Structure 1
C-alpha cells in the first residue's frame, strides 16, 4: 500500500534541551560503611581523572579490571592503596560516554577521601563536578542508551519493595515496550505520509486509490493498533495493583474477630481487640508484604442494624462501607456463636456479603470454628449458612483463638487455619494481576504511559470515525484524518521520549526527581 520508504526520526526530540559537556562523578553504591564502594565517573574527562589519581601507572585496558594505588592529585599522599579500576570507552556504556569506575574499600573516610580527590583533578577537556540526582541515567537517555519507558522501569526497580514489584520493573526495563510503541509510531507516520502525499500531489499525480479507499486501508492498520492499546491499558491496571498495593477490606458484624484476624495476618497489634461491640469505630489500616504482593489491609467497624448505634459508630460503618467499595479484595467475616438456648449458629451481616459480591475478588470466612466440638456439626452449620446467604463459594473456616494460643505453644503447622487463608488470599492476588506468558512485558506499563495510550486511542478512534464517515458520505476529509494520525503518533513519541514531543523536558524532571545521586 505505502509508496514511500519513510524512515521516521528516532531522535529524542531534545534539540531545545541544553546538555553540557561536564564530567560527572558520584558514589554509585549505597551510602554508609560497606565492604566495597563503587564510585562512577562519566564524561570526556575520565582519562584526565585517571591520570591525576594514578600518575605513574599505565592506563588500564578497556573492560579489564586493574588494581591501582590512588594518590591525591599533585601530591604523593596515598588515598587508597588497592583500588580496582575499570574503564569503559564510549559509546557502548551505560551512559553512552566514557566511564571510569573505582572500586574502593567501603569505609566512610576512604570514600570521602577518594571523592574529595576526584574533585581536585584537573581536566583540559571538561569541567569535573559532582553529579546531580539521576544524572547518569539522564545522560543514558540523551545518548540513546535508554528510552523513557526504560527510565521509568529503572525508577521502579530502585523503589521496588516486594518481589512482584521487582518482577514488573524487570519486565519494563527490557526495552520491549519502547520498541513496540516505536513500531506503532512508525506505522502511523507511514500512513500519515501516504495521506499527506494524496493531499499535496493529488492534482499533479495519479493515485491508484481514492481518498476513501486509502482511509479504509489505513483503518485496518489502526484497528490492529487499537486492539493492542486495549491490552496495554488492561495490563497497566494490573501493574498499578503491584506498584501501589492491593487494597483489602475486612468486613463483618461486631465481635466476629476482624481485629484479631487482622493482627494475626499483619503480625502485630494494629487493631484493638475487645469483646465489647463497636470497639473498632474507625478504619484501621496497615501495609504488609504477602507472598511478594504489597497489600493494604483495612480493619473496619462492625456492621449492625440491631441495638443502639451511636453517631460515632454510624460514621464508622459509613466509612467501612466506603472502604469496601474502593477495595480490590473484600473479606466478609462471619462467626460461630452460641444462641440463647445453647445451640450454635453462624452469625453474619447481609450487607457485608453483598459488598463482598460486588468486589473484584472476595472471600467469605467463618471464625471461631473451635466453638464447635465436632466436624459434622460444623459442616452442617456451614451448609445452612451457605444456603441462607446464597453463597456460591465454599466459606473458609478459621479460629483466631487457636492461632493466638499456638503462637505460644507452636505445636501446629497451620494453627487456626490462618496460613490457609493467607494462601487463598495470595491466589486471589495472582488472579487480579496475572497476565498470559506472551504478555509478561506489559507488566512494565506505567500509569503515565496508560494515560498517553488512552489519549492515543482517542485520536485513533476519531480517525476511524472520520474514515467510516467518509465511506458513508462518499467523500473524505483527508486533512483532518492526517491530523488525527499526527496527534496519535505524538502521544506515542511522548511515551518513549522520541520524535518531536514537546514536553520531554518536563517529563524528565518528574521522573528523575525520584532518582538518587549516583544513578
Structure 2
C-alpha cells in the first residue's frame, strides 16, 4: 500500500496542466493581436470589461474584430475580423458584391449596414477585401481582412459599422488585447515559444535582434522541447513498468541495470539542456543589448570615445578633471549589435595632504561617482579600459598613463569573468615614423604588462582628437583608427555571443544552426529549463543511491519494497522535469496516465 500511495500521489496534489494557468504575457500589438485601446465608439452591449474577457475567450461562437495596424493617420489601415460571422459581416458591409474567392484580393465598396446602400451610405469606396476560410488561417478560424484608406474618420466609421452588425447566432465584439494571438494558440496555430518570438519580432530594432526573432518564429524549439519531454516520458514509463511488472514479467536485465541505463540517458539529456541554458544567456545579450562600460582615469578620453562611437556630443568633454560624475548611458546600433555604452566618472586616488599644488583631494560627490563606475563595470558584459599615451622623457619618449585604481578595477572585472578591451588613446602623439594601422610591439607589451589577462588582439590604438577633427592623410581613410577599434569591438561581441556546445553530444554531431536556434530561448523558457535541470539532478541523485544491504530482521520482501519506493520517488522527479518542459510550450502533460501506460505496454507488454 505504501508503494501504491507514493506512485499515485501526483494524481491528488498535482492537477493537470491547463492553459488557463499559463502566464502568456503576450503583446497585443502587431500582426495577430491589435492590443489597442477601446475604439472611439461605444455601441451598446458590444464592449466587454476585462473581468468578462476570460469567459469570452472560451466562446467559440464569438466573432472579434480590431484595427491591426497602428492607430493614426496613414495610407492604409487593416481591420481584421475573426470568427464564424465573417461572411455575415461581409454581406452587411458589401451587400452588392459576392464574397471574394478564398485568398484572392478584391476591391469592394463598403456601405453602412444600418442604412440602404446608396452614395450617401458609402464608408469607403476603394477597400481591398480578403477572405480566409478556416482552419488554415492565422487564428484557426474564418478571417476577414479589410484594407481601408487610413484616414481616422474612415477607420472609425468601419469599426462602428462592424460593431452594429446584428447576428443572432454569433456575438460580434471588439477584440480584447492579445485575443487574436490567444485564439491562434488555442487552435494550435501558434505555440508559446512562437508567440514570444512574435513579440521579439515586433520589438526588434537591430539586425541581430531581427535574426534572433526569426529563429524563434519557427516551431524548431517547440519540437525540441517536445522531443525532450517524450524522452522523459519514455524513461518514466520504463520505471513505471519496473514497478508494476517486476514480479510478473521477465526482464532481460536486472532492475539495477535498468535504473542505471535510464540514468545514463537522463545524464546525456541534462548536458544538452544545460548547454541550451548557457546559450539562452547569450541570446539575452542580443535581445536586451550588450552592456559596455568605459573605464579609465580622468581625462583619459572616455567621453570623447563615447561621442565618436555614437556620432554625437552625448557626453561633456573638457580638459578639467572630474567632468563626468554620474553614469551616462547611451544606446547605439553597431553593425546590428545593440549596445548600451556607459561613460562613467574617472577613477583616481587621493594623494598628498591637500595643501601642496600636486595634491589631489576627492570630494564626496566624486567618490560616489567612482563607486558607481566600479559597480557599473562589474555589471557590464564588456569593459573598455581607456588609457592615454603621455609624453615621457628622453630615454622613453612616450609612456602609458594609468592610475593604479584603474588597474585594480580592471582586475576585479577580470575575476568577475568580464571581457576586457584596452583602448590606448592619444596615439596622435606618436612620431609619424611610428604611426601605422597597428600598434608598435613596445606599446602592446606595455599594455600587456599592465593588463596581463587581455590578449594582444584586444589592444587598440586610437586618437579621439584626430577622429573629431577629421585629420586624415591621403592614404588613410580611418581618422583616429576609430573604425578599426569598432571592428575589433564587434568581433568581441561575436565571440562572447557565439553559441556553445558545437561539436555534438552522445547522440551525434549537430550543425551550427542547431545551437544558434537555442539563442532564441527567452528568460521564461530558460527559467523552466533550469527548473527541469534541478529535477533531473534530483533524479540522478536518487537513482545513484546505493542499495541498502540486508541486515538482521530485514527479509527480502522488505528490501524489495524499499527499492520500489526509491524508484517511485525517482519517477516522480522525471514527471516534474517533464512538467517543466510542458510549461514552456503549453502543450502536453507529463502526468497523462494514458501516455505513460502507452509507453509501459509498448515496451514491456507487446503481444501479451
Q: CA RMSD in A?
A: 2.7
Q: Distance in 1 between matches of 2:430 and 2:240?
A: 78
Q: 1:250, 1:299 within 8 Å by CA — same for their partners in 2?
A: yes
Question: Which structure has more RCO (C-alpha within 8 Å, separation ≥ 6)?
Answer: 1
Distance 1:254 1:419 in 2: 24
Query: Aligned to 2:86, which of 35, 41, 46?
Result: 46
Q: Which residue of 1 aligns with 2:456?
A: 393
Change in CA separation of 1:472 and 1:329 when aligned onto 2, cut-off 3 Å: farther
For residues 337-362 of structure 1, what are the alpha-carbon distances to aligned partners after superposition, in whole Å with 9 as ceiling and x for unaligned?
23487943221232254246445322
Relative distance call for 1:375 and 1:390 in structure 2 (3 A) is: farther
The equivalent of 1:515 in structure 2 is none
1:442 has 2:495 as partner:
no
Q: Residues 14, 400 of structure 1: CA spacing in aligned structure 2 closer, same or farther, 3 A cutoff? A: closer
> What SS class does the counterpart of residue 286 from structure 1 fall into?
strand
Please give the secondary structure, in 1, of the residue aligned with 2:545.
helix
Q: Normalising to structure 1: TM-score of the pair?
A: 0.88
When residues 223 and 267 of structure 1 are mapped into structure 2, their CA distance, relative to the original with a 3 A threshold, is same
- Separation (CA, whole Å) in 2 of partners of 1:63 and 1:34: 24
Query: Does the C-alpha gap of structure 1 residues 345 and 206 become closer, same or farther in structure 2, counting only changes over 3 Å?
Result: closer
* Unaligned residue ranges in structure 1 (runs of 5+): 1-10, 503-519
List aligned pairs for 1:436-475, cutoff 5 A.
436-470=512-546, 475=563
Partner residue in 2 for 1:61: 101
- Match of 1:419? 483
CA contact (8 A) 1:90 1:98 kept: yes
Q: Which residue of 2 aligns with 1:354?
A: 411
1:364 corresponds in structure 2 to 422
2:575 partner SS: helix
* Partner Cα separation in structure 1 for residue 345 and residue 112 of structure 2: 66
* Partners of 1:68 and 1:48 in 2: CA distance: 15
Distance in 2 (CA, whole Å) between partners of 1:324 and 1:269 is 22
Identify the match of residue 431 of structure 1 among 487, 495, 499: 495
Query: Aligned equivalents of 2:590 and 2:380: distance in 1?
Result: 37
Q: Which residue of 2 aligns with 1:23?
A: 63
Maintained 8 Å contact 1:157/1:169:
yes
Offset at residue 443 of structure 1 (A): 1.8
- Out of 568, 577, 583, which is 1:494 matched to? 583
Could you say which structure has the larger radius of gyration?
A: 2
Q: Say if 2:444 and 2:456, in contact at 8 Å, map to a contact too.
A: no
Count of matched residue positions in the alignment of Structure 1 and Structure 2: 492
CA distance in 2, matches of 1:273, 1:331: 18
| Structure 2 residue aligned with 1:505 | none
Residue of structure 2 equivalent to 1:514? none
**Inter-partner Cα distance in structure 1 for 2:420 and 2:112:** 64
Q: Is the 8 A contact 1:48 1:122 kept in 2?
A: no
Matches within 5 A, 1:247-396: 247-305=291-349, 306=351, 307-339=360-392, 343-349=397-403, 350-355=407-412, 357-358=414-415, 359-376=417-434, 379=440, 382-383=443-444, 385-386=446-447, 388-389=449-450, 391=452, 392-393=455-456, 395-396=459-460
Q: What is the distance in 2 between the residues matched to 1:443 and 1:339?
A: 48
1:293/1:15 CA distance change after superposition, 3 Å: closer
Once residues 384 and 202 of structure 1 are traced to their aligned partners in structure 2, the CA distance between those partners, rounded to angstroms, is 70
TM normalised by structure 2 equals: 0.76
Q: Secondary structure at the match of 2:331?
A: strand
